[in-house]
Structure 1
Amino acid sequence: MPSELFVFDAYGTLFDVHSAVARQRAAVGPNADRISDLWRRKQLEYTWTRTMMGAYRDFRQLTAEALDFAAASFGGIDTETRANLLAAYETLAAYADVKPCLDALRARSARLAILSNGTPGMLNAALAAARLDGQFHAVLSVDDLAAFKTVPAVYELVTERFGVRPEQVCFLSSNRWDIAGAKKFGFRPIWVNRSNQPDEYTDLKPIRTVRSLADVPGLDV
């Protein structure tokens, strides 16, 4: 059935997680790209590990801890640069394809939402900085559960909030593991494969794979 409820992951899908380091590249130094990559990997690792342990810390705290590990792995950064990076993460740049996609979906009266590991404060700050506040009918955070994706109860936040069945939800994420979790829950996921990664979790396939959100409004989903 065609969906008119589109739910977006935030980090990596709407917001460029590497834009924080990009803004501080000179201060971070020659290992900037490797620090950025490791920062993201450890951030996600901490969400999965702490969820399995039942030892929740919110996404803002884990983002800081992941940065500290990544920076220390390449010789460290000074306190001012650390503070600037964490501040920049609160106002990550939105990808250029985000606003046109949202506008096109809203033009056909689709309902739009975010489902994210981010804290409400982080999400509100990022949306305001990108001038996307007011674009979504709901901004849902895992903070309500004290557990991160891919716990099924996280995806259930959407069905409870909108009073829909899982198969009525079109879920969009750039993270293949998130697509797998959403598919297992029963959503109809679209993988926004921005960096042309190989497929994985092949038993939990997306209904579509696109390279950009610009492709989404034209899909029959």
Structure 2
Amino acid sequence: MQNASAFVFDAYGTLFDVHAAVRRHAGAIGPDGPLLSEIWRAKQLEYSWVRTLMGAYADFWQLTEQALDFAFAKVPSADPALRPQLLEAYRHLDCYPEVPGVLKALKSGGAKLAILSNGTPQMLESAVKSAALDHIIDDVFSVDAVGRFKTDPAVYEIVTNAWRLYPKAISFQSSNRWDVAGAAKAGFQTVWINRSGQPEEYGDLAPNLILPSLEGLVSAG
């Protein structure tokens, strides 16, 4: 996109489907599975923002566990005995169908590819390997390196410092609008992958491009 030769992707919600873990055990969870999954994701993110603001970092796996415990407490119809299975499924989330093809196309065009994520290195290694993306992605950057979560500016600097590139040389893709805003503030070119048709927000930090999936990214380049 816009002459970018380096592409950085958010992981959860952008490359990997955060609701895949609950869907994998939908039969055992019952009809409140979607509600459980939504609460799990919402609290996971809330905890990351609150801990960054407080300066009380705990890694993303700990927050994922704590958020699931909260979700079980809010959804009493879901059996907490499923906790180990759901956490294991979260380590091996499905990637979205278009992801391998898009990344391979960008790679074959000479682009450098990376993930920048709130996830721990161990979480990301499991997800990347499970999706067979480990031979496509050049670098995987975790916020563990700075002990803060997105959208703290130090997170986006992980990439520019490691690659020694100006932010404008990098195209950053995320399904999370707040993450796109953080990357735009950091100076990246930004693409909002608006998978669920959410309304626009953060108008002063607009994305360069909005796509319904990653499929349009290759043609946009």
* TM-score, with length taken from structure 1: 0.97
1:77 deviates by 4.1
Q: Deviations over 1:32-91 (max 9, x none)?
A: 001100100000000000000011110000001000101110116445411000000000
Residue 42 of structure 2 corresponds to 41
Counterparts of residues 42-81 of structure 1 (less than 5 Å): 42-75=43-76, 77-81=78-82
Residue 115 of structure 2 corresponds to 114
1:27 deviates by 1.5
Whether the 8 Å CA contact 2:100–2:133 is kept in 1: the answer is yes
The alignment of Structure 1 onto Structure 2 pairs a total of residues equal to 220
Residue 184 of structure 1 corresponds to 185
Residue 195 of structure 1 corresponds to 196
Structure 1 CA distance for aligned equivalents of residues 55 and 170 of structure 2: 28
1:217 matches 2:215: no
Whether the 8 Å CA contact 2:32–2:77 is kept in 1: the answer is no
Distance 1:152 1:70, change over 3 A: same
Structure 1 CA distance for aligned equivalents of residues 30 and 79 of structure 2: 11
Residue 98 of structure 1 corresponds to 99
- Higher deviation after alignment, 78-87 or 102-111: 78-87
Structure 2 CA distance for aligned equivalents of residues 124 and 187 of structure 1: 25
Residue 129 of structure 1 corresponds to 130
Identity %: 52
Residue 168 of structure 1 corresponds to 169
After TM superposition, which residue ranges in structure 1, 4 or more long, deviate above 3 angstroms? Answer: 76-80
- SS in structure 2 of the partner of residue 203 of structure 1: helix
One-letter amino acid of the structure 1 residue matched with residue 160 of structure 2: T
RMSD: 1.0
One-letter amino acid of the structure 2 residue matched with residue 135 of structure 1: I
One-letter amino acid of the structure 1 residue matched with residue 159 of structure 2: V
Structure 1 CA distance for aligned equivalents of residues 204 and 14 of structure 2: 22
1:176 deviates by 0.1
1:107 deviates by 1.1
Structure 1 CA distance for aligned equivalents of residues 28 and 162 of structure 2: 43
1:31 matches 2:70: no
1:137 deviates by 1.2
Whether the 8 Å CA contact 2:72–2:79 is kept in 1: the answer is no
Q: Deviations over 1:112-145 (max 9, x none)?
A: 0000000000000001111111211110000011
Residue 153 of structure 1 corresponds to 154
Q: Deviations over 1:164-202 (max 9, x none)?
A: 001111000000000000000100000000111100001
One-letter amino acid of the structure 1 residue matched with residue 36 of structure 2: I
The answer for unaligned runs of 5 or more in structure 2 is none
